[in-house]
Structure 1
């Protein structure tokens, strides 16, 4: 199995306009056909450890669960390139020969999802284990604790979103012709968007709250549930991830994949930011 790097698809993220809280139903039901799921995931870069041919580094670990026996083949999928590189650096100490033959490879989350679904249940199935950024896990625990929950662990990769306003709706942005709900991998970047929104609409400042869900449950809901609300969700990668992927672009190709230019000078893709204030629909 090889993982293909499609940098153009990952960098094809358009600029967005901040709107405001949208009175949408609870997040308990989400769904889309697989082609639309892949479209949502393909612009999210994740990072894995591969050999020179692009085959992922696989660990054999005991299967878990009642009635399970034998070992499972597991490949780590890192949300942060820096965490993936730190793993390789540790490997240089523990197994220098293996470390010399592997590298950190960016790949689309959409491709990981597609491979996972295609191989599910097969004898040679490789299980992809998502590795969250420790700092974001700690921030996720803090968010839950601030709501009064007793939290010692946060399972999975955290995704942060905001809600508020008179109807406690989700904070939305305008992406092209569609109003969407952003889920951020990086809480600080969501916080920056929230602060800009508060400056534009100070009357709802006190009502804005940040919530957290995990990536794994969102992916499962996308696959199994059925609700139009799903079509409004987008995943917003961290600036760090996008900047790393952009640094790999050939000089001539980088201009072809840049988001539409704004009046501000910027050297890397930006998270959704307000360009004007619009009322929520």
Structure 2
């Protein structure tokens, strides 16, 4: 596999552009162990609506299937609860927005596959991401087919995947937010203007990426990394921020 360039972006990351047609081909028919899949999904926070006992709010889907919504955006989940207060205030008083990792949702969905009348999970993408996905799909003559959009950059003569450096490893980032990817692409184009015109942003559904991780032995899958939105990153920072230490009371003067 050839590496086209190496660069240091103002975002504090370094990246390279892989030139390998095999990557693009394999991603359409790409299996990682469940533990490896969870490593990729666990860092991504998603948001559910749950009752006082922590059970997810369930709606009836097609064929009376039980469906629980999983919001990519905390703000969208909060807005759902706000709307619920108007439509069904009694129910709204009994539910709240609960953060959970994407990996946990995946485990629940997998374990439910063998159950009768199993609970299904429906991912709710951000409206802005869907709009971006539709625009890109129309431009690429590949209409957006639904699902949670993920944005990835490809470029170079062989349309390889743009990679970034993370923990001293080259990884292929899939962004939930197109704007975050555009920042990386802009820096790349500034430093490599001779191939700037070859760089394109494509859309793939989260659900499709997860299925791909489940169905191939290709080692390149290990390089895929999901990049949460800025909103989710801030949420994680707030959750992980250490509480300020309470100062010890001063000893009384003698």
TM range (shorter): 0.7 to 0.9
Give the Cα separation in 1 of the matches to 2:179 and 2:232. Answer: 14
Match of 2:145 in 1: 154
| 1:19 and 2:15 matched | yes
Match of 2:43 in 1: 43
Q: Are the structure 2 counterparts of residues 29 and 232 from structure 1 closer, same or farther at C-alpha, using a change threshold of 3 Å? A: farther
2:180 to 189, 200, 210: 189
Match of 1:54 in 2: 54
Other structure's SS at 1:216 match: helix
Question: Which structure: larger Rg?
Answer: 2
Give the Cα separation in 2 of the matches to 1:30 and 1:39. Answer: 18
Other structure's SS at 1:156 match: coil
Other structure's SS at 1:148 match: coil
Match of 1:134 in 2: 127
Provide TM-score, normalisation by structure 1.
0.77
Shift of 1:121: 2.7
Match of 2:116 in 1: 123
Aligned residues: 230
Give the Cα separation in 2 of the matches to 1:95 and 1:117. Answer: 31
Shift of 1:250: 5.8
1:73 to 56, 63, 66: 66
Shift of 1:16: 7.0
Match of 1:215 in 2: 206
Give the Cα separation in 2 of the matches to 1:88 and 1:57. Answer: 11
Provide TM-score, normalisation by structure 2.
0.85
1:104 to 94, 97, 110: 97
Unaligned regions of 5+ residues in structure 1, if any? 1-14, 64-70, 254-281
Q: Are the structure 2 counterparts of residues 250 and 167 from structure 1 closer, same or farther at C-alpha, using a change threshold of 3 Å? A: closer
Q: Relative contact order (C-alpha < 8 Å, sep 6+): which is higher?
A: 1
Shift of 1:106: 1.0
Shift of 1:173: 0.7
Other structure's SS at 1:74 match: strand
Instruction: Tell whether the 8 Å contact from 2:29 to 2:215 is kept in structure 1 after alignment.
Output: no
Offset from partner CA, 1:120-145 (integer Å, 9 cap, x none): 13024110100111111110011111
Shift of 1:91: 0.3
After superposition, where does 1:159-170 map in structure 2 within 5 Å? 159-170=150-161
| 1:82 and 2:75 matched | yes
Give the number of the structure whose residues are more often strand, by fraction.
Answer: 2
Give the Cα separation in 2 of the matches to 1:246 and 1:176. Answer: 18
Instruction: Tell whether the 8 Å contact from 2:66 to 2:120 is kept in structure 1 after alignment.
Output: yes
Shift of 1:101: 1.1
Unaligned regions of 5+ residues in structure 2, if any? 1-10, 245-254
| 1:225 and 2:225 matched | no
- The 10-residue stretch of structure 1 (222-231 or 126-135) with the greater mean CA deviation from structure 2: 222-231
